[in-house]
Structures are given as C-alpha cells and as structure tokens.
Structure 1
Amino acid sequence: MSNTESSVSEQHKIRLEKLQQLREMEANPYPHSFDVSHNSQYILDHPELIKEDEQELEEVERVSVAGRIMTRRIMGKSTFFNLQDSKGEIQVYIRRDDVGKENYNKVFKKLTDIGDIVGIKGYVFKTGTGETTVYAEEFKLLSKTLRPIPIPKEVETEDGETKTYDAFTDKEQRYRQRYLDLVVNPEVRDVFQQRTSMVQAMRNFMNDKGYMEVETPILQPIYGGASAEPFVTHHNALDMKLYLRIANELYLKRLIVGGYDGVYEFSKDFRNEGLSRFHNPEFTQVELYVAYKDYNWMMDFVEKMVEHVAKALHGSTTVQVGDQEIDFKRPWPRIPMFEAIEEETGKDLYGKDLSELKEAAEELNIELEDSFGKGKIIDEIFGEYVEPNLIQPTFITDYPIEMSPLAKKHREKEGLVERFECICNGKEIANAFSELNDPVDQRERFEEQARLRADGDEEAMTLDEDFLQALEYGMPPTAGLGIGIDRLAMIMTDSESIRDVLFFPQMKPEK
C-alpha cells in the first residue's frame, strides 16, 4: 500500500469514528433537505445584500447558502471558512456565541472536516479587508464526507517561490473520478457549461427554422446509416439479436418519407471501435434532414449555424484552440476531395482503378489491407495527407461513390456523389449528403456493401429491407447532415481530448 493510500485509509477510519460520534449525539449527519435562498455568485454580484454599518440587524435581508467546506481558519471561538457551491466560492464567518456552544465546539470544530457539505443561514457583511462574507447565524451539517477531498495546498519556499502540493491533476484519475474533478478543479465546470450552451444554441437555431426535434430507436434490429462495427445485445422476451445504433440516419429519413419537412435529433450513438484522443465508443451527434434541399444548401446552413454557435459562446466568430486562432466567419473554403489530395500529394486519383490506387498508396507509404476497396484506399490517403492540414473550417466536397453508399450521385461528375465533410482543426466535425432517394440505386449500393463485407470489410453497411421499402413509397429530394457534438465541443472549449468534454468517458479497466 502506498503512503497516499495509507493516509486515505487512516483518514477514512477517523471520519467513520466522527460519523459514529455524530449519531451518538443524535446530530443527524445526513438530513433530508435544506432551504437554499442564494448562491455564492448571486451574493457577490449583489452588493445591496451587504449590511451597512448603520443598519440594524432586523433591517438586513437574510441569506441561506449551502455547499462544501473547502478551507478553514479556526481562531478559537470563531472561524473563517470558504464554502463552495455550484456557482463558486464565498467566505463564511461563524462564531460559537451565534450558533451555540455544542454546535460550534463539538459538531463544527471537532466532527466537521474539509469537504463536508454544510448549510448556513445568516446575513452578508464585509470584513476589514473588504471581502464579502456570510455571517453565520445558523449552522447545519448536511453531509458528512468519509473520504478526504484532495485539496491542493500552496506552500511558500525559502526562496520565495510558491509550490503546490496534492493537486488533483492526474488526467486519468480525473476522468475516472469526474465528481472529484468537478469539486477540486471547478474550472472544469465551465467546459461543460459551454458544451450545454453550444447544444442549446444549435437547438434554438434549428427550432427557429421550424424543424422538429424527434427521437428514434437506440436498439435496432438492423444497424445502419454509417460504416462502423456495432455493439450487439439480446432481447430476451423476443429472443432476438439487437444492436446499439451506430447512427440514426435511416430512421430520420423514414420520417421525411412520412411527410415532415425537417427533423433533427441529438442522439447518443455507439461504435465498437478503439479509444483515442478523438474517439469514444459512446458519442453524441446531431443529425438533421430537410426535404427539398441539397448539399449546396446544407453547406450554407452549416456555416450559418456554427458561426451562430461561436458568437453565442465567445461573442465572436474566432475561437482560440491551442496556439491556433480558428475563424468561423462565413464563407468557408469548398474544395473537391480529389483536388485536395492532388494538391497535397501531387497525385491525381480521380477515375483510377483499384490497382492504380493501390500503386499510388504504396508510393505514399500507406499501409493497405487485402480487404481495402477503392473508397477505403482513397480515405486512407486523404486521412494521412490532407485532413491533418485543414485547421480553418473547410468543406471537402464530391466524394467517390464507393465511400458514400447513402449519397445521391453527382449531377455532373461521373463516379462521385454529392457529399461534403467539414474539416476543422485537423478532424472531421460534420458530414452531409444530397440524400439518395432512388430505391433501385440504393438497393444496388447496399448489395455492393454486402460484397465488401463478404470480402472482409467489417465496417461495410448491411442491407435494410424495411428502409428500402420506405424509399419505395417515395422520399422527396433531401439534404442530410451529421455534426459530431463532442468534437465540435472540443474546438469551442479549447480541449485537447474528447475525454475533456465528456463527463464520464470510457476508460480501460484499472489493474
């Protein structure tokens, strides 16, 4: 056992003893509720709450606050401590003569620890140093903690430098114990508040256009709408295999068939793939489908919505990401995929057959697998040579048909489809099509995917007979879009890893 583990175990034992003492005193360490009237930020933002010297106590507005004790300075019969709630921290002053001798001496001083959750009722005043402080007239323990909170400690060295000890900075532990991360590193809360604001801005933007937010199945008998491996489960009552959805595209298109002009869904999707800085097997995306539109219209829409999001979060179209300043101001560059590849590699791959593509990939030192078809090879080359260099938001358009079995054929260019991806900060954040609504063509594409799967491509799509039947009833021309919420949040919050924008990311099991 390490020294840290030994220390925690000892403190855990001591706190259990304190808990027992509280119960023996009939001081309930876990009461059912506490009436809170104000939060720390509100008090700090409203100086009219502060008691003036000439005011009588009867004239002063009372406040009731609750939160964790984060630091305290005991001075005999009185104590200053910092209380942290959901909005920040505020100082509290508590005296034995105000809250009662037993409550102060036994409960507060001896049986309460840093990290405990307490409730305070009193009034607001300013100390001699000018700090806004809550004067405690009542004190109540609301939750006794049995494990110590890892509060960082700052110590000044003999050289005058300030050193921090016991900071909760280990990334992996922070992800595994996000609840502690939020307590000890409150700036992390800002990231998730921005993520929520981002989603709300997108939702408001689409609602204002008249599009309807919907819900579609997570458990699906046939997975589709993307190229990915699914998670498999089993329904006992029906005795059938089901899949966690990899996308919600095919169900949303069914709603367009049903007569809606625009539908969207913020969806949890699941892909049975590896973990990385940009990948979590459970992720969030928003998909939008709008009838009678195409991918050119959708590019305009994405520009407008993401520009709106940047302004809503940052008051500007520019966002600082690491050492890069990314500008979401419209218009964004639009570059056909094969032109982008040729610009970076010097190789024109348009119209090349499988053997020519393999030869080009080998010359570019791209590792190939026997199961790779034309689309997969082109995708590997693009991912290696083009995508990492696209920092400012850029539309890559006109993909090969082999890569896009759900997109409509290009109206002018043979062998291509009307598809775009938005690349930003070196990664895809959005994918969109002029949706394929020809049921005969769609069936042929699915059958080609089945051949690729038979040849070993485990990410090839499966044939969905019910979806094909829906198309046969007629789907109008439609533009479809998917935006990765987690990746967009990484950019909007200047976060290095997808784990930084997920409350509870998937982690490898601890040894």
Structure 2
Amino acid sequence: MLQEFPPTFIARCLGFDESEEEFHFLWQEQQFSLKVDQNLKITGGALVRFQSSQGKFILEKVVYTPPEGLKANGDTLRWRKLNQFPSRFHCLKARHHILRSIRDWFDQQGFLEVQTPARVRAPNPEAHFDLIQCDQGYLVTSPEFQMKRMLVGGFEKIYQISACYRGKEAGHWHNPEFTMLEWYRVGDNWQRLCQDLQEMTKYLPRAWIASKQHKMLEGKWKLTTVNDLLQEFWHFEIQPIDQAGDLLEKLNKNGHENWINQQRINRESFLVIFGRLWGELEQKLGWERPCLVSDWPPQLASLAQINPNGFAERVECYVRGMEIANGFGELTDPNEQRKRFEKELIHRSQVGKLEIGLDHQFLDALVEGMPPSCGMALGIERLLIWLLDVPSIENVMAFREYEIF
C-alpha cells in the first residue's frame, strides 16, 4: 500500500482499531486503512502527518494552534468534525456534477443561460416574502421580473441559476440565501414546464444520486389538483371566489371544529387559514413519487393567469412532503398585474411587513407587450436534499448563514 501514497502527506483520522492495529483515515476524499505498530492516541477528526521511514510510515498528530485572538468554537469548525467530513465532500461534489448536468440539459434544449442583477430597486411585493434591504434597494427574492423583461425584449427560451435572498427563513429546508434555477418559455404552458422538470431530473447523473431515488426519477409522476387533494384529506373543495368565512364554514361542516379551535382561528384571512390547512396536507405529498399540484386559488398566485374555471395557472412539485418547484402560466396583462400588486402592498401593510414601492420598470415592460409565456422556479438545495437523500439544507451548502454572521 506504500506505493499509493507520497513519502510525506497529511490526512484526517477516522479512528484506530486496536485489535487489528489498523489506522483508518481520510485522504484526498477517500477512506483508507493502514497497519501500524505505534501506540496511537489520536482521536477521530484529528489531522495526522504520515512520514515514510525505512519502508513504513511514522504517524504524528498535527497540532493546530489558532492565530492569537482567533476564537473557533461551536460549528465554526464543523468542517473538521468526524461525523460530517466524509459525506461533506460527496454532497458538494454531487452538487457540482448535478448543476453541470442541469446546464447541459438546458443547453441541449436550446435555452440561453442569462444572469440578471442580485440587487433591485423594487422587489416582488408579495406579502409572504420578508425582504433583505441593502444600501440601495433590495436583494432579489427571485430573478423573475428581470427575466420577464428579457422576454419582452425578444428572448424566447432562457434560464438562470442564481442566488436569491429571503429574510427570516431558517430551518431544515430554508436558508436566507439559497440557489434558484428559473426558466421561461415563450408560447408554451405550465404543462410543458412539468414535462421539462421530469425530463431534466431524469437526465441527471445517477452516480451522484442516492439509489433509493432512482425509481422515483424513472417512474410516472402524480398530477393532481388542489381540490382533489383537499377532497382526499379534508373532505371538501373550494371555489375561486371563496373567502375566509367560506373556508371556515366548510371546515365546520366536515367535522374539523377541533382543528379550528386548536389553530385558534378567529379573524384570520383566507390566505392564513388556507396556508395552515395546506401546511398539514403538503407534508403527506411526494413520498412514493413526485407530486405535481395544479389549479390553485387565485389569491395564491398574483403573477399567474386565471384559467377558464377561475383557478390560477400555477403548478407546484412536491417530494418528501417538501415543495421543490413552482411554475406559472404567466400573467401578461399590465393593468391586472398592477391591481394585484396594489392589493399585495395593502396586505403587506396589514400584516406589518416592510413597506415598499412597485417595480414600475417591470410594469412598463408589460405595457410594451409580454408574449404568452410560462416559467418555473426550482430550489436547487431542496432538489439536492431529495436526490442525495439527506435530512437538511446544511448537507448541501458550503456554509449556512449562522456560520457567516
């Protein structure tokens, strides 16, 4: 085994098996074992210097002394933790290969990769977003408005992989800064977006995807509607014109009085009530196969067209009880878009969110004429959580926000 290593190198200890006199270590992202005759007192995670001498290796612990004044504690040093180090490289290498394959797929379909600014004067006004303000403007919650302006300018098939920013988002599936894949097609509909999503994920390299997810990728995805799922789990359906009172009445009629009491619902809006009942429902979606959900209440899609049945042309994709993608048949009417944005500004004020102005450049572009289009946004980290079968966004990011600030 000596010939596989240089005369001197540094590796990370994974443990010492006293019975076998074997030292287990990680070097160049691979695990190795080496028989040694030293009485080693080196714990897992420590750095070890290997020095070749007379046909065998002499091992010496590398003592790391932080520079004077530097305090390293808690998760600051999690890259050195034994329980995360080996898998860390795999997840980030898998991320690299999967992102490269995503770009390959879109290039093969004739899409143009674009890059739009991360800082804007006026962000998306939807009330559920907590915005991150900077010296001049805001960090984007999505590149949507700028990409749509490019559609007005004549581009027909574009995509972007970029950092997006949403404040107060933290948890297993959230980080204030995250990576979004967003793509648009002129002259197509949301059904084509679903086809894109399925074909693109099937194209991704199986060598970097957890084996248990291969079957889900190859199988047929479930396509359903919001009302189908409400009927299945809550035993009622909604109408596009329903308000908060209508929802409460249907919940009461179908035996959900205890749920209403547990939620302490009193004067909450339709959006709040629907959000809570959907939050319980969505946890059950996408465990056996990915689930695509269409026909949403119009109140939940301020940028989408309305279909002939009165529901929004919006589709979401769920896996493992987690939303990973959200697509629209895009609204192109500038007057209707302005009205919806103004309602969102009122809603922001009612719920105490940061007051902002409208993106008049985007609205002016709609006046010039945006062609019939569809677009979808896919959270890259959530896609990776699913494909790599890991429990948290922490596994697929180099750093979480708490490690930076």
Both structures adopt the same fold (TM-score exceeding 0.5): yes
1:206: which partner in 2?
106
Cα deviation digits, residues 328-380 of structure 1 (max 9, x gap): 22531111111211111111222433311234457362536778433443232
Structure 1: gaps (5+ residues): 1-42, 51-61, 74-79, 95-108, 124-133, 148-171, 235-240, 321-325
State the shift of 1:83 in Å.
6.6
Where 1:405 maps in the other structure, the secondary structure is coil
1:507: which partner in 2?
402
Matched to 1:357, the amino acid is L
Q: 1:465 to 1:68 in 2, by over 3 A?
A: same
Match of 1:388 among 273, 284, 288: 284
Q: 1:184 to 1:427 in 2, by over 3 A?
A: closer
Cα contact 1:245–1:270 (8 A) shared by 2: yes
Number of residue pairs aligned between Structure 1 and Structure 2: 380
Match of 1:429 among 324, 330, 334: 324
Cα contact 1:375–1:400 (8 A) shared by 2: no
Q: 1:379 to 1:115 in 2, by over 3 A?
A: closer
1:228 aligns with 2:118: no
Q: Which has more radius of gyration?
A: 1
- Between the aligned partners of 1:462 and 1:340, the Cα distance in structure 2 is 36
- Between the aligned partners of 2:338 and 2:14, the Cα distance in structure 1 is 66
- Between the aligned partners of 1:184 and 1:400, the Cα distance in structure 2 is 42
1:145: which partner in 2?
64
Matched to 2:217, the amino acid is F
- Between the aligned partners of 2:235 and 2:123, the Cα distance in structure 1 is 38
Structure of higher RCO (CA pairs closer than 8 Å, 6+ residues apart): 2
Q: 1:282 to 1:201 in 2, by over 3 A?
A: same
- Between the aligned partners of 1:336 and 1:276, the Cα distance in structure 2 is 28
Q: CA RMSD in A?
A: 3.8
State the shift of 1:122 in Å.
10
Where 2:402 maps in the other structure, the secondary structure is coil
Structure 2: gaps (5+ residues): 17-21, 67-72
Where 1:328 maps in the other structure, the secondary structure is helix
Which residues of 2 match residues 387-466 of structure 1 at below 5 A? 387-391=283-287, 392-410=289-307, 412-414=308-310, 416-456=311-351, 458=353, 463-466=358-361
1:86: which partner in 2?
28
2:213: which partner in 1?
319
Q: 1:64 to 1:218 in 2, by over 3 A?
A: farther
Which deviates the most, 334-343 or 496-505? Answer: 496-505
Identity %, equivalent residues: 23
- Between the aligned partners of 2:251 and 2:157, the Cα distance in structure 1 is 41
Cα deviation digits, residues 275-321 of structure 1 (max 9, x gap): 222222222121111221110111111111122226353496x518x
Matched to 2:138, the amino acid is Y
- Between the aligned partners of 1:86 and 1:432, the Cα distance in structure 2 is 41
Which residues of 2 match residues 2-41 of structure 1 at below 5 A? none
2:194: which partner in 1?
299
Where 1:338 maps in the other structure, the secondary structure is helix
1:68: which partner in 2?
11
- Between the aligned partners of 1:84 and 1:353, the Cα distance in structure 2 is 59
State the shift of 1:417 in Å.
1.2
1:24: which partner in 2?
none
Which deviates the most, 298-307 or 196-205? Answer: 196-205
- Between the aligned partners of 2:390 and 2:210, the Cα distance in structure 1 is 19
1:278: which partner in 2?
173
Match of 1:339 among 219, 228, 237: 228
- Between the aligned partners of 2:224 and 2:280, the Cα distance in structure 1 is 17
Cα contact 2:314–2:329 (8 A) shared by 1: yes
2:70: which partner in 1?
none
Match of 1:251 among 140, 146, 149: 146
TM-score by length of 1: 0.64
Cα contact 1:372–1:457 (8 A) shared by 2: no
Cα deviation digits, residues 91-133 of structure 1 (max 9, x gap): 7899xxxxxxxxxxxxxx9xxxx9557587999xxxxxxxxxx
- Between the aligned partners of 2:332 and 2:249, the Cα distance in structure 1 is 35
Matched to 2:30, the amino acid is G
2:19: which partner in 1?
none
- Between the aligned partners of 2:325 and 2:177, the Cα distance in structure 1 is 17
TM-score by length of 2: 0.80
Which deviates the most, 64-73 or 444-453? Answer: 64-73
Where 2:218 maps in the other structure, the secondary structure is coil
Q: 1:85 to 1:400 in 2, by over 3 A?
A: same
Cα contact 1:295–1:432 (8 A) shared by 2: yes
1:17: which partner in 2?
none
